[in-house]
Amino acid sequence: MSEPGVAPFVQVPARALHASECRVLQLARQPYHRWLERPVTNAVLEEAYRTNALFDAHREDPEFGYRFLADEARGAGSVMADRTAWRICRDNRWWSVFGKRRGRIEKAGPPVHDDLVRRDFTADGPNRLWLADITEHATAWIPVVVATIEATRRPVKQPGARTGYPIWVRILWREQSRMPGRVKGHENGAMRSPDFTEDEYARTVESLRGRRLVGVTYYPLSCGDDGAEAEEWDFGVWHQPTMGVGLLADNGNRYSAVWGNSFDCYGLEIFQEPMSSQLTMIGQPGGTPAVVVTDHPSWSGLIGVTLVGADILWSEGDYGLRVPVAVELRAPAATAWLVAGRPAQWPPDGRFCLGTDDVMTVFTREFAGTVGLPLK
């Protein structure tokens, strides 16, 4: 007997009940029973672990882009491809606080510190004006380094990678260059010039003139379940070797064309050293695959032929500083541009952004104009 006012419970076999539910909801029974046995799949669980690892890295170093975050996550034991890290960061809007342009609708916040020296960095003698005392100033989004002796040392975010100096150091160098006198008043050497200058960059590029290229290697992003496959990079008149391009000259010198921020903003930088000095985990799962493109038809006009020109294309960057957005390599019958840029969206729709943390190659002058290069 059932209690008064309570409807009697009808015993229905569990299998028949599931079958009727699946029939009403138009669900296949086998996937439904697999879901009952394991509601959270291995793929979803692995995605959650990767997301947690990227979030921990982003919270600790909010200035990192997705590639550095992927390196930190792999170091913590969560292996993934750079493209997977990019997708997770994009979905969660975890952008680098320096590398992503924001809208200009927000009001400016309060100054991080008082301008006690009124932008006058000169002093009559030592111990009169201190520029290297404050180490941190707490803000709501990131601890901002204001001035510190140790901060002028080159930061190593990834072993073997070149990341540039802190942006506040380069801003002070710019202000110093605009003053009639030199910065003085501190004898601990806290202010010193960067080790990669425009003159050094120009000498490196000029060393390619008169040489013959005998090898070209791309370093695109990795993809696939094991992170060992090369992402698509061939798009006809332009290629997308995202992490960099390696060049081998006839005299045995190796050149690494990578994106970097030695000139305040992301740009195309070339170093006379092998790519292993710029990238880690080359050819390893989760790292960067090496794709030899020496025999590719797009490079046929520049391989084995003397280069008659190698020039840097400069563009006006943030803070009024020049940024190298591309390097032009000219042979008698062909020209190629190594560019710091990428499509504005994916898949490509014909619009491109320059000055990004990506490397692309362009093979026609018409398309170089479409990309937006400052051609001569």
65 burial type by CB count under 10 A (0-12 exposed, 13-18 middle, 19+ buried)? buried
223: tokens are: 């993809």
CA distance 179 to 121: 9
CA distances from residue 162 to 29, 68, 154, 245 in whole angstroms, order as listed: 55, 12, 9, 15
**Per-residue DSSP letter, 298:** G
What are the structural domain ranges in the chain?
A: 17-97, 107-194, 198-371
CA distance 218 to 208: 18
Taking the complete model, does pTM exceed 0.85, yes or no? no
> What element of type H or E holds 203?
helix 198-206
**Per-residue DSSP letter, 137:** B
Tens digit of pLDDT at every position of the chain (376 positions): 444 444 444 444 444 345 666 777 777 767 777 777 777 778 888 889 999 999 999 988 888 888 899 999 999 899 898 888 998 998 888 888 776 555 445 566 666 566 666 767 677 766 666 655 444 444 444 444 444 333 333 333 333 333 444 555 555 555 554 444 333 333 333 333 345 788 889 999 999 999 999 999 999 988 766 667 888 899 999 999 988 999 999 999 999 999 887 776 788 999 999 998 888 888 887 778 899 999 999 999 999 999 999 999 998 765 567 889 999 999 999 999 999 998 888 788 888 888 888 899 999 999 999 999 988 7
| Residue pair 124/107 in contact by the 8 Å Cβ criterion | no
CA distance 89 to 84: 9
How, if at all, do strands 229-230 and 222-223 pair?
antiparallel
Dump the DSSP string for 176-201: HHHSSS---S--S------SS-HHHH
CA distance 176 to 196: 17
| Residue pair 192/186 in contact by the 8 Å Cβ criterion | no
**Per-residue DSSP letter, 127:** T
